[in-house]
Structure 1
C-alpha cells in the first residue's frame, strides 16, 4: 500500500468509499470490506452525512451510523482516518436538492454535532463542504468551519464539487481565520468527458483543466492541497465494456477510443487489469482515488493497484492519448 499526507496526517493513497455501507451493502459485508481494507494497510475511509437519502427506505445517516458502530465494535480510534461531508442532507423526508441543508453557520454547527455523535468520536478527521450553497456567503461558511476547528471538533477542512473561483474565495476566507482547506474532492478518471456536456448525473462535478492547474500551482508554491477523486472506475466501465454506453454523450468522442487503446497497451505491458492501471495512474499523478466496492474481489483488485507503479514511459503512453 502506498501512502500520502493530508494536512500532515499520513493516510493510504487509496480511499475506501463507504457510501453504500449500512444501506445497500449489508452490515456484515460492509464490516468485512472495512476489515480487509485495514488488513491490506488501508487507513482512509470516505463518507458523508447524507448517504444514502435518495435510496428508498433510507434517510441519509446510514453510512456514518454504521461506521460509528463498526469503530466501537473493533475498538478503532486513530488507526482509521475518516472523511465526511456536510451540506447535502435534505431538511424534509423524501426531499432532494431543493431542500438540502446548505452551508449556513447554523447548518454547519448542527451537522458537525450530528457527525461527531454518529461516528463516535470527539473530532472529525476531515470535513468537506459537499456542494455549493449559493444562498450562503462563503465567508459565513468558512467562519463557521473555522470555529469548529478552533473548538477541536474538526481537524482538517476540505471542499467538494465547487467551482474553482468559489474554491479560491473560500480558501481565502479560511485564511482570514488562520486555517487552510487542505483537501478537495471531485469526479475524475482516466477517460475524460467533454466539459460542455452534462454528465449522467447533475450531482457530479468533474475536475476541469483549470482546477488541475490550480492544484498544481498550489503544490508548486508549497501550499499542500490533496485532490481525492470519486467514480475513478466509471461505474465498472473499464472492466465491463457494455457499461461504457451508459456513460452518456459526454464520453462519446474520439478521445475515449484513443485513451482506451493506450490503456490496453499498458495493460498488455504490465499484465494488470484496466482498473488497476487506471488507479495506479491516478495515484502516481498525486491523486487519491475513492473506490466503491461491493465484494472482496473488487477490493483486492484495487488494493493490488496501490502497489503497481507505472514506468515513466507507460505514463507517457497514457498521458499522450487524446
Structure 2
C-alpha cells in the first residue's frame, strides 16, 4: 500500500463523474488505500450552496464496483456543512450530538456503506460542550459505524482534552490528526489570513506530539499547495510564504529534483512520507498526470543525506 490519501473534495462538482471514476479506479489499481472526503464537499461549487456531491459520487462508484469497498479505507468529515447557502463559516452544523447523528446517517446513506473507517471532526465547535461531542462520537464507535475518530484543524490542547474525556467516559478517543502542511512554511502569525482554519497547520509542536504519540496518525492536506511548486503562473505561492526561507527552499528543491530526475512536487511528497514522524499526504488529483505525480512521489525513497539537504534549509 502507498502512503497516500486521495482527496475527493471536488469529485462530482468541478471534476465530472467520468473523470472521477477513472481517477478512483487508477488509484486503487495502483495500491491506493485511503479516500478522503467530507459531508460539506463541495458546497462552494454547487448552486444549492450545500455539500454532499462528493459523497454521492463515491456512493455511485462503490455501487458500480462490487468488492472495491473492501479494498479501500474511507474517511469523511462532519462539522462544516453550511446551515444555509452562504452561511459558512459563521453558521455551520457544528458538533452537537444531534448534528453528528444526522450527519453520519446522511453520509452513510450517500456513500451506500455501513461504516466509516475514519470519521473526522472537520473543525472544533466551541459552542458545544466537549463532553457531548466526545460521547456522540463514542456512541457511534461502539455501534460499529465509526472505525476510528480523527480531528481536523484542532488546537493540540483541545485534542488532549478530548482524549482525556474519552478515557473518563470509556469511549474511543481520537487517533488521527488532519492539518495543512508542506515543505514551504508560512511566516509566523499570518496563518489566519492564509488559510481557512486558525489551527489548521502542522507546527513543530504537532510534529513533536505525533512523534511521541505514535498512535496518532498525521494526515496533511494541501501538501502540493495547489500546484505552486510547478511554477504555474495561475497558481502562485501565497503571499504568506513570501520570505527569504521560501526562496532558499525552492532553490534546494529545484537542485535536488534536477539531480534525481524528478519534479519538485514529487520530491515534496517523498519528504513528507519518509520523515519522522511519517505523514500521510492528502492529494486532490484532478488529472491522470497529477495522480501519477502523487503516486511517484510517495514511492520515492530519499537517502539520509538528501533528507538532511532539504531539512537544513531555514
Where on the TM-score scale, by shorter chain, does this alignment land: which range?
over 0.9
Task: Indicate whether 1:234 and 2:228 are aligned.
Answer: no
The more displaced of 83-92 and 200-209 is: 200-209
**Residue 85 of structure 1 aligns with which residue?**
77
What's the CA shift for 1:214?
1.1
Counterpart Cα distance in 2 of 1:25 and 1:57: 15
What's the CA shift for 1:181?
1.2
**Residue 69 of structure 1 aligns with which residue?**
60
Counterpart Cα distance in 2 of 1:149 and 1:188: 28
Report the 3-state secondary structure (helix = DSSP H, G, I; strand = E; otherwise coil) of the residue aligned with 1:57: coil
Deviations, residues 7-44 of structure 1 (Å, cap 9, x unaligned): xxxxx411100000011100000000000111111111
Alignment of 1:246-261 (within 5 A): 246-248=237-239, 250-261=240-251
Q: TM-score, normalised by structure 2?
A: 0.94
The CA RMSD over aligned residues, in Å, is: 1.4
Report the 3-state secondary structure (helix = DSSP H, G, I; strand = E; otherwise coil) of the residue aligned with 1:115: helix
**Residue 201 of structure 1 aligns with which residue?**
195
Q: TM-score, normalised by structure 1?
A: 0.92
Task: Indicate whether 1:273 and 2:273 are aligned.
Answer: no
**Residue 124 of structure 1 aligns with which residue?**
116
Conservation of the 8 A alpha-carbon contact between 1:131 and 1:160: yes
Counterpart Cα distance in 1 of 2:256 and 2:237: 24
Conservation of the 8 A alpha-carbon contact between 1:88 and 1:131: yes
**Unmatched 5+ stretches in structure 1:** 4-11
What's the CA shift for 1:166?
0.8
Paired residues in the alignment total 307
Task: Indicate whether 1:36 and 2:26 are aligned.
Answer: yes
Counterpart Cα distance in 1 of 2:129 and 2:256: 46
Conservation of the 8 A alpha-carbon contact between 2:139 and 2:171: no
